[in-house]
Amino acid sequence: MAVVLTAMNRFLNEDNGLQMAFLDGNQPDRLCKPLKDYIEGRGGRVLTGVPIEEIVVKENNDIDYLRLRNGEKVIADEYVSAMPVDLMKRLTPRQWSKLPYFYQMVELEGIPVINLHLWFDRKLTAVDHLCFSRSPLLSVYADMSVACKEYYDPHKSMLELVFAPCAPAAGGKVNWIDKSDEEIIEATMKELERLFPQEVCYLILILLLVSYFLMYFFSDSKRWLESKAFEICCCQGSSFSLCCNTRKEQI
């Protein structure tokens, strides 16, 4: 909740702080591909599926090159990192670790977050905006069937929600990361009953399609992405059967 209040305070104290926008489609097609096309159109290369194994530095602490896991060396004029802090800490060269700038990362630690995507068979009360929730579990959410062109549907809702805090490391009381899929979905539906009492609590949901992504940050700085696709038959938001297909990969 502290994170939500901090974000809200930031928005309230900045000009145009409440002006937010969503991509008009999924990130791979509407963000990543245009960036890739732009770079390659100007002679650059975009490498995927080839993680960085080591940042090799010179005696003066400048970067000599990046060594990829496949053994290839990458040499550039400038290097920019957008890695999560846990991965950056693992890859930080030893001789950088005591430099003031990089030493600050010692206090930073990645925390687990669960992101849920829920498809409903009918329309919920929708706001064309990112909403901060009063729920202790669902910090922010948006109805993408209204806020995003690709998911637009005048008759059905598609909610995207951030399930947080989901572990003691993030300030929560329950370690939801270790809970079963059924428990996470059940807790989410109960919170949605509070957010949409006239719709979720009393309506019989004939079909609910759900997919969510779990991002883990472990102490050994390995990051796992787990995507699960569910088909759930719900009755009054409580009793359901579950079919699950899981794909897990290390990044």
Q: Give the mean pLDDT per block of 10 residues along the chain (251 residues).
A: 61 67 86 94 91 94 95 92 88 92 86 84 80 84 90 89 86 88 85 77 44 41 40 33 34 37
Q: Is residue 218 in a domain?
A: yes
6 vs 102: CA distance, rounded Å: 25
How many CA within 13 A on the CB side of residue 113? Answer: 12
Q: Do residue 98 and residue 117 come from a single domain?
A: no
116 vs 140: CA distance, rounded Å: 11
Q: Do residue 167 and residue 95 come from a single domain?
A: no
37 vs 21: CA distance, rounded Å: 23
| C-alpha distances out from residue 109 to 73, 86, 183, 217, Å | 29, 6, 26, 9
Nearest to 86 by CA among 63, 57, 111: 111
With b for 16 or more beta-carbon neighbours within 10 A and e for fewer, the 91-128 pattern comes to bbeeebeeeeebeeeeeeebbbbbebbbbbeeebebee
Nearest to 50 by CA among 70, 80, 79: 70
Q: Do residue 125 and residue 156 come from a single domain?
A: yes
Q: Is residue 213 in a domain?
A: yes
What pLDDT was estimated at residue 180? 84
Q: Do residue 119 and residue 191 come from a single domain?
A: yes
Last residue of a domain, one of 69, 86, 108: 108
Q: For residue 32, what is the DSSP state? A: I
Q: Is residue 216 in a domain?
A: yes
Structural domain total, the chain? 2
What pLDDT was estimated at residue 15? 67
Residues whose CB is less than 8 angstroms from the CB of residue 17 and which lie 6 or more positions away in sequence, other chains included: 10, 11
Last residue of a domain, one of 43, 78, 108: 108
Q: Is residue 2 in a domain?
A: no
Domain around 63: 51-108
Nearest to 118 by CA among 213, 198, 49, 30: 213
**Is residue 96 helix, strand or coil?**
helix
Nearest to 79 by CA among 58, 99, 105: 58
Nearest to 177 by CA among 163, 191, 198: 163
Q: Do residue 101 and residue 118 come from a single domain?
A: no
What pLDDT was estimated at residue 10? 67
What pLDDT was estimated at residue 4? 56
The pTM of this model reads 0.66
What pLDDT was estimated at residue 5? 63
Q: Do residue 71 and residue 145 come from a single domain?
A: no
Q: What is the rounded end-to-end Cα distance, in angstroms, of the chain?
A: 29
